[in-house]
Chains A and B, each alone.
Chain A
Amino acid sequence: MKFFLEVWRQKNAKVQGGLVRYEVVGITPEMSILETLDVLNEQLLEKNEEPIAFDSDCREGICGMCSLVINGYPHGPEKASTSCELRMRHFKDGQTIIIEPFRAKAFPVLRDLVVDRSAFDRVMAAGGFISVNTGNAPDANSILISKKTADKAMDAAACIGCGACVAACPNAAAMLFVAAKISHLALMPQGASERDERVLNMRAQMDKEGFGHCANEYACEAACPKEIKVSHIAKLNREFLRAVFCSDK
């Protein structure tokens, strides 16, 4: 197969970038879009041109490192898939594919398709945890959690922190990411005692990082490779209202 890739090239965070068109040949349907970029990069290196920088690590859809916007879709048009899982069989031979970095003020471009998502880490450091020191835990079975609750918490905890929700959101909001953690921890009895501080602090950090407001358009849900539901955002809103109006915080 042959493709035309229009890829965002940007030398570093300080300069402006733009789309550059490349032709790449010798692609097979079972290759992923990242492997297609690998092939293109090898071709560029052989011509002594600088390869395209992009983030990727596990290449099996779990680490959350890959972060491409492919033809206008974060992680591409396939449902429940990360960029690394997107195979070329989903494209037509000879098609033009536009590849851009995740776009948000809170995710500045470092080079080409590589963005800085440390904002997510700071949001997590603000409250995305249960304060228990090593050695303090009671026997695991002393805290009973119904299967239903555990399953629900797991649905939210499946978030891989890739940032596709932010990339997809028309307002670059991080609500789905924050909601996934809030919801996961608020559902577990272990996390309940800190739920008020958690939601207040994580919300404050989220706003500080410059993410936008949620407009309930659910583009995040559509782009989420782990299919995390916007009902968790509703839960985040409830948690927040509860913390503001019903707690001493």
Chain B
Amino acid sequence: MDFLSRFYSSSIGRKFFVAGAGLSLCGFLILHLSGNLLIFKGPGAFNHFAKTLDSNPLILPAELILAGFFLLHIVIALIVRYHNYQARPIGYARYSVKGGRTWGSRTMTATALIVLAFLVIHLKDFRFGNRSEGVYQLVVSCLKNLYYAVFYILAMLSLSLHLSHGFQSAFQTFGLNHPKYTPAIKALGYLFALVIGLGFASIPLWIMMGWIK
């Protein structure tokens, strides 16, 4: 396994881990969102789905693996960030280069930290919160709080911004860049970021508007 540790200790290898874990998490986001959207079908469907999930014996190992991906993504990205910070000890008085830099790419660390903060609160309130009255009721009662809902929406917009760069960037890291398909990957990345962001944000929005009670 020597080659793996050498792979990990290389700049390209580290990015590969971040990208791989990131894309896997994108898959999780799709699953999570599909489940969440059941909320629009009413408390019955949503709570039933939650219960089915909770009672599945595979949920614990799945959650552990998921946590592993999160940790891998976050920890290695922070290590990369630290190395990058060190690579330019003295900065520029003025820095103007744009190139492929987008709002998404520039704010990767900031959006990551917001999403991380959200994740912690989110886990505390929903995963480990009081689910006795049903998850539907738990969600609605939390998000009725205006501040909570606004924070939720902002966090989802951050996630969206994070994905707008992260999704397409992962493909470049895997070495997939060709005029034949790269424009499609980019478009797909933006679409994905939009769908995930709006999809998750729609729930607090609907609750704020009083459309979900």
Contact partner of A106 among B87, B97, B108, B175, CB < 8 A? Answer: B87
Q: Which of A211, A221, A244 has the most CB of B within 10 A?
A: A244
CB pair B94 A211 closer than 8 Å: no
Most buried by B among A106, A168, A171: A171
Do A212 and B100 touch (CB < 8 A)?
A: no
Minimum CB–CB distance from A32 to chain B (whole Å) comes to 20
Q: A31 at the A/B interface (Cβ < 8 Å)? A: no
How many interface residues does A have (CB within 8 Å)? 51
Of the listed residues A210, A218, A239, A245, the one surrounded by the most CB atoms of chain B closer than 10 A to its CB is A218
> Which A97-112 residues have a C-beta within 8 angstroms of B?
98, 100, 103-106
Cβ A100 vs Cβ B93 within 8 A:
yes
B83 within 8 A of A: yes
Contacting B at CB under 8 A, from A29-47, are: none
Question: B interface, how many residues as a size bin?
Answer: 35 or more
Bound together, the chains give a CA A219 to CA B88 distance in angstroms of 15
Given contacts A105-B89, A230-B177, contact A72 B100 (CB under 8 A): no
B56 interface contact, C-beta 8 A: no
Would you list which residues of chain A between 133 and 192 have a CB under 8 Å from chain B?
Answer: 168, 170-173
Q: How far is the CB of B157 from chain A (nearest CB, A)?
A: 20
> A218 and B99 in contact (CB under 8 A), knowing A234-B177, A237-B175, A241-B175?
yes
- Could you tell me the distance between the alpha carbons of A210 and B83 in the complex, rounded to whole angstroms? 8
Q: In the complex, how many angstroms separate the beta carbon of B185 from the nearest chain A beta carbon? A: 11
Segment of A58-66, A86-94, A122-130, A200-208 engaged in the interface with chain B: A200-208
In the assembled complex, A3 has its CB within 8 A of some CB on chain B: no
Question: Does A73 have its Cβ within 8 Å of any Cβ on chain B?
Answer: yes
> Measured between C-beta atoms, what is the minimum distance from A233 to chain B in Å?
7
Q: Which chain A residue lies CB-closest to B94?
A: A72
Docked Cα-Cα span, A72 to B102, in Å, equals 17
User: In the complex, what residues of A have CB within 8 A of residue B84's CB?
Assistant: 170-173, 212-213, 215
- Distance (Å) between the CB of A52 and the closest chain B CB? 16
A-B contact pairs, 10 of them (CB 8 A): A170-B95, A212-B84, A213-B80, A216-B100, A217-B100, A217-B106, A220-B99, A231-B177, A234-B177, A237-B12
Binding site for B on A (CB under 8 A): 6, 8, 19, 69, 71-74, 77, 98, 100, 103-106, 168, 170-173, 203-204, 206-207, 210-223, 230-231, 233-241, 244-245
Interface residues of B (CB under 8 A from A): 3, 6-7, 10-16, 80, 83-84, 86-102, 105-106, 108, 165, 168-169, 172-179, 182
